[in-house]
Amino acid sequence: MKKSEELKDLVREKYSEIATQDRVTNVNSCCGSGPTGTYTIMSETYADLEGYEPDADLGLGCGLPTQFAQIQAGDTVLDLGSGAGNDCFVARAETGATGKVIGVDFTPKMIQLARQNAEKRGYNNVEFRLGDIEDLPVTENTVDVVVSNCVLNLVPDKAKVFSEIKRVLRPGGHFSISDIVLRGTLPPKMQEAAELYAGCVSGALQMDEYLDHIRQAGFENLSVQKQKPILIPDEILLEYLSADELKSFADSKTGIFSITVYAGKAGKKEPRDQQKAASGEPCCEPGSGCC
């Protein structure tokens, strides 16, 4: 596979293209830009979640992290790889008017699209920042909950991302992240396929290695909240493998899985008014009489 910066350029190019397409086009294509259907296989429906905005859903996820994220009213929530804003808007419904949601994405066209989606809905407590999730444009110890949906497997340095998540979380904060992981080894032709990298398959780590990154970053209470197999149809795999290679792959019992993982940062979560006092924010709305 390519070097780190080449991989980032590949992902940025693919997702810039995806940002200009509608959801129907994206879910009927591998990585949102080709003739096959990987995302259709991976994506789950948000239709029953409060705050869901269909036109902000590009169909690129592999789970429902916000459903498992235990977001409380007033929380500050950070979404890594926020795309058109889908998970941010669901998180906003959970954190409410007293909370804040920050989305970070390194594709300028995605940031532009997300900001347009927020502006036309009048969401003034949802903010989108252009940045690399290996080097988050977020102050340390300021976030209560981190979510992400099928993004970390696109990042070359997974360990750096988990280090950044820990840095920005407040003591007692936590994350809920959906991602693609492997059990077994993909054939070399699949590992080298740019489309499958952008489609969250060939960049996926072994499940044990993925979980070890979380442990090594120093998180506590690690748990897999949900796991489901991802079954890629033969007609898609045959774009990358010969018939004999496909049979060998099937015989290898290599598994591709979507998992949603939870873990927390050590420490005790401070009451909301103490958090705001530490950050210089007013502890309540002016004139409310609560202070």
Please, are residues 63 and 149 in contact by the beta-carbon 8 Å criterion? yes
What pLDDT score does 275 carry?
Answer: 59
Residues of the chain with pLDDT under 70: 1-2, 19-41, 197-200, 272-291
CB-count burial class (<10 Å; 0-12, 13-18, 19+) for 100: buried
The per-residue pLDDT for 248 is 94
- The closest of 89, 78, 98 to 144, measured between CA atoms, is 78
CA pseudo-torsion sign 82, 87, 93, 98: negative
The pLDDT of residue 103: 98
Query: Judging by beta carbons within 10 Å of its beta carbon (0-12, 13-18, 19+), is residue 34 exposed, middle or buried?
Result: middle
Q: What is the pLDDT of residue 38?
A: 45
pLDDT (0 to 100) of residue 202: 73
Q: What is the pLDDT of residues 137-148, one digit of tens each?
A: 999 999 999 999
Axis crossing angle, helix 108-121 with helix 86-95, rounded to the nearest 10: 40
What distances in angstroms separate CA 20 from CA 25, 52, 84, 119, 153, one per listed residue? 10, 20, 10, 18, 22
What the block records as the tokens of 118 is 């927020």
pLDDT at residue 265, rounded to an integer: 98
What domains are there in the chain, each with its CATH number?
4-264 (3.40.50.150)
The reported pTM is 0.85
Distance from C-alpha of 216 to C-alpha of 162, rounded to nearest angstrom? 9
pLDDT tens digits along 37-63 = 444 567 788 888 999 998 888 888 889
